[in-house]
Amino acid sequence: MAGGLTFLLADITTLAVDAIVNATNRALIPGAGIDGAIRRGDGEAELLASGYRACLAIAPDHSLRSLAFPAISTGIYGFPADQAASIAVREICAALAAVDAVILVAFAEPDLAVLTAAGDA
């Protein structure tokens, strides 16, 4: 596993990172932003990958060196957790040079297992 990427079971809001990524819009309305686009089913996998890439691409512009991501779109929107984890790990590993640390945060033990398995693949 590439250095700089870790997996953690935690409350994402308690982590000491420069930014917490949220998959919705600025108003935090469910079904909007990345999650909403994925939920509508228009090229879900590519939209999810694009969301990770976009977040990681703008991090240096805002002097963000550490980020925490939830398992985007795997909750109530039902995107397959294993596929989402693979996309997350792939996109984050491709952009690790832009940041010092990225944490993929799981809400529950089963989610952590899926994230960790993707990281080991």
Give catalytic residues, as residue numbers.
35
> Cβ neighbours of residue 10 under 8 Å, at least 6 residues apart?
103, 105, 106
CA 105, CA 71: separation in Å to the nearest integer? 7
CB within 8 A of 26, min separation 6: which ones? none
Q: Could you give phi then psi for residue 57, rounded to 5 degrees?
A: -70, -35
